[in-house]
């Protein structure tokens, strides 16, 4: 299934994308794509529905993040061997965990704001895991039972603030609009192998990232299990799993975003996003 949330910011409604590409309203079935609505039992009930019995949504509404009500927006750093190489970093022995502010979350095609005084805003196409059932100290063998699905994420980053301003990475990761997510939550039954998905990111029509989840150092099962030993994972929580090579920081010389540019990114089976970069405004 492809599940989504549509409507104006802060007023999204739950929906389902049917086989014809029509959005079907799920408001009569669940209040939103959050909490218990993401449990394996509830997702099984939604899957059993005939989409034709759900009202179609007219027009081409804005899509919001495909989940809401999460407690954690978790990211994994340097999780692609070829990306670590381009940045001159050693292969991590354990997953690098950092948190992205929940305020960074936005819809897949919403504008991305270049922060005030930013000089090194960068792009990162990433596979995101969305948690369905609460996970605490789970084993790798049982990890997938806690996964509601996958989504496309752009882990937008301000590299000067992340790397050169001291402290943790978080200050370069949590700016408003730095977490476009979606367009959909795609349930695991539609993704044969999350470790074999092609992914790309174009800036103003120029291919910058052209990679695959095959080069992930730590895979989905490992990450869900590993993170759950440090942070209790709640329904709707997002784990964004790292990016392949081709980020602006890795270019020679480095290239960073300016207002007025277009990011277009996608992952096979998970859809595509398009964002316009806009200047900061008080």
Asked, for residue 194, whether it belongs to a domain, the answer is: yes
Whether residue 208 contacts residue 183, with contact meaning beta carbons closer than 8 Å, is answered with: no
Number of domains present in the structure of the chain:
1
Q: Tell me the pTM.
A: 0.97
Q: Which residues span the domain enclosing 177?
A: 68-279
CB count within 10 Å of CB 270 equals 25
- pLDDT in the model for residue 82: 84
Asked, for residue 26, whether it belongs to a domain, the answer is: no
3-state secondary structure of 8: coil
List average pLDDT for each run of 10 residues in the chain, which is 282 residues long: 97 97 97 97 97 96 98 96 82 95 98 97 98 98 98 97 88 96 98 97 98 97 98 98 95 96 98 98 88
CA distances, 97 to each of 74, 100, 160, 253, 269 (Å): 7, 10, 19, 28, 26
Cα–Cα distance, 6 to 81 (Å, whole number): 36
- pLDDT in the model for residue 191: 97
Asked, for residue 49, whether it belongs to a domain, the answer is: no
Asked, for residue 162, whether it belongs to a domain, the answer is: yes
- Total length of the chain: 282
């Amino acid at each position: 299934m492809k599940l989504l949330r549509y409507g104006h910011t802060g007023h999204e409604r739950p929906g389902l994308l049917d086989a014809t590409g029509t959005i079907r309203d799920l408001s009569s079935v669940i209040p939103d794509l959050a909490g218990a609505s993401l449990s394996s039992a509830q997702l099984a009930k939604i899957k059993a529905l005939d989409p034709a019995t759900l009202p179609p949504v007219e027009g081409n509404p804005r899509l919001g993040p495909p989940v809401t009500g999460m407690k954690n927006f978790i990211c994994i750093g340097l999780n692609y061997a070829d990306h670590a190489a381009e940045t001159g970093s050693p292969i991590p022995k354990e997953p690098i965990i950092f948190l992205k502010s929940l305020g960074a979350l936005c819809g897949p095609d919403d504008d991305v704001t270049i922060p005030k005084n930013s000089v090194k805003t960068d792009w990162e196409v990433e596979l995101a895991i969305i948690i369905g059932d609460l996970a605490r100290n789970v084993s790798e063998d049982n990890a997938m039972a806690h996964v509601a699905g996958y989504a496309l994420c752009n882990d937008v980053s301000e590299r000067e603030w992340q790397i050169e301003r001291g402290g943790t990475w978080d200050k370069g990761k949590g700016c408003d609009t730095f977490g476009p997510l979606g367009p959909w939550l795609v349930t695991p039954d539609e993704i044969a192998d999350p470790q074999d998905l092609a992914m790309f990111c174009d800036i103003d029509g120029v291919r910058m990232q052209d990679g695959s989840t095959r080069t992930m150092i730590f895979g989905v099962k490992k990450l869900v299990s590993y993170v759950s030993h440090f942070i209790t994972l709640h329904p709707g929580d997002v784990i964004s799993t790292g990016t392949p090579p081709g980020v602006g920081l890795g270019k020679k010389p480095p290239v960073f975003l300016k207002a007025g540019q277009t990011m277009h990114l996608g992952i096979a089976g998970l859809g595509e996003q398009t964002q316009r970069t806009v200047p900061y405004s008080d």
